[in-house]
Structure 1
């Protein structure tokens, strides 16, 4: 009876590293500059800072507007004062009224 012996190939140990190396290169590159990589994370952090500042400005503006609305409620001002302020804010007047335009720096006494 005769046995056959195979010679060991020098390529066989290189198969796993040949497949693994391109995968490692791909994932390394994606972790640096991919959609969710380090560079994108820095851009997202900068955008988050801008959006947070915008949000804080809007919240402060809203609080100011809410305060002005509270001051204009029925209990603190008379109806004609509310009407006058609304007309001034909307830049409107009735047909039978005379409108006198004042310069911006003019302070009515």
Structure 2
């Protein structure tokens, strides 16, 4: 009868916890710092809010410009609007006038 005597090694019990710790570390890091992680999502949300504010201001400017174009091309040209635009673009006024630009 043959017998082999082996010294028992306990390294086998450490393989599964080490692999699990490695996976948790890898996926935990990328869930915070990855392209779709929490920090990237926060930065994306911040940019979205900034761009929505910019869009609102551009829409306001466009509405004002559309109103001015409507006043100038309605068929009945408003003389005040035409006079205002001409004076502003030519930088001309009479001596007795006060011009306030805002």
User: What is the TM-score when the length of structure 1 is the normalising length?
Assistant: 0.65
> Which protein has greater RCO, CA pairs closer than 8 Å, 6+ apart?
2
Are 2:38 and 1:44 aligned?
no
Secondary structure of the residue aligned to 1:104 is coil
In the TM superposition, structure 1's runs of 4+ consecutive aligned residues that sit over 4 Å from their partners are: 1-8
Cα RMSD for the two superposed structures: 3.0
**Which residue is equivalent to 1:26?**
26
The one of 96, 100, 103 equivalent to 2:94 is 100
What are the equivalent positions in structure 2 for 1:58-73 lying under 5 Å apart?
58-73=58-73
CA distance in 1, matches of 2:48, 2:78: 45
Aligned length: 98
Conservation of the 8 A alpha-carbon contact between 2:31 and 2:38? yes
CA distance in 1, matches of 2:90, 2:39: 50
CA distance in 1, matches of 2:70, 2:38: 47
- How much does 1:39 deviate? 2.8
**Which residue is equivalent to 2:86?**
87
Choose between structure 1 and 2: higher helix proportion.
2
Structure 1: runs of 5 or more not aligned: 94-98
CA distance in 2, matches of 1:53, 1:78: 33
